[in-house]
Amino acid sequence: MKLSIKSLVTRSLTLTLLLFGCIKAMACSCAPQPDDINKAVTDAYQRADAVVLAEAIEVTELTGSDLYGDSLMADMSGEVVKERTLFSEIKSWKGIHGRQFYTEITVACCMCGISFTKGQQYLLYLYRNEDGTFAASSCGRSKPVVVAGANTVAENTGEENLAEQELAILDKLIFE
């Protein structure tokens, strides 16, 4: 069967478009957040098993047989697919987690997991895993924070005031 150049180009272009479409379809997809910060924070607070401000003390990449004795495979890019992070509580608004607790999160492509950095502080909306560790999602309100003097604010550029509002809303929720 002899294919013309036009036919080869058409087939190559079609295959390329299909592959890019599949890659896009594999991306993490999050439900929209409410525009009203009070509602968004309240909803996230109610859904979470724990809400805490904490510092990442140790981040461990789970590889090989670290997980349930099974081989832990990397995603298509060769990146580690799970991380276990030890956190130290700074302030808690909700949940039973102890002064130190672990998260175990799938950070592979398309799974919406959050990868943490040792020494960084985070505002965490956590969900309990079956093994007693916690998970957080990039689709939730969990975020890194920076400490500026005595104030803790979100790292997100231009959203410092918004983060201060979120922390104030959480403080109000525990007294209601």
C-alpha dihedral sign at 135, 157, 38, 32: negative
> Residue 21 falls within a domain, yes or no?
no
pLDDT at 19: 44
Could you report the average pLDDT of every consecutive run of 10 residues in the chain (176 residues)? Answer: 59 49 56 86 93 95 58 51 93 92 83 88 92 88 71 50 78 78
> Residue 16 falls within a domain, yes or no?
no
> Residue 97 falls within a domain, yes or no?
yes
> Residue 103 falls within a domain, yes or no?
yes
Burial class (CB in 10 A: 0-12, 13-18, 19+), 131: exposed
126: which 2 tokens? 């956590």
Q: Which range marks the domain in which residue 148 is found?
A: 37-173
> Residue 125 falls within a domain, yes or no?
yes
> Residue 94 falls within a domain, yes or no?
yes
> Residue 137 falls within a domain, yes or no?
yes
- CATH code for the domain of 63: 2.40.50.120
φ, ψ for residue 38 (rounded to 5)?
Answer: -60, -45
pLDDT at 96: 87
Q: Note if the pTM is more than 0.85.
A: no
- In the chain, the amino acid numbered 80 is V
Which residue, 147, 150, 149, 152, is CA-closest to 167? 152
> Residue 17 falls within a domain, yes or no?
no
| Structural domains in the chain (count) | 1
pLDDT at 79: 56
Which residue, 101, 131, 130, is CA-closest to 116? 101
For residues 147 and 163, is the Cβ–Cβ distance under 8 A? no
DSSP 69-133: TEEE---TTS---EEEEEEEEEEEEE----SEEEEEEE-STTS-B----TT-EEEEEEEE-TTS-
pLDDT at 50: 95
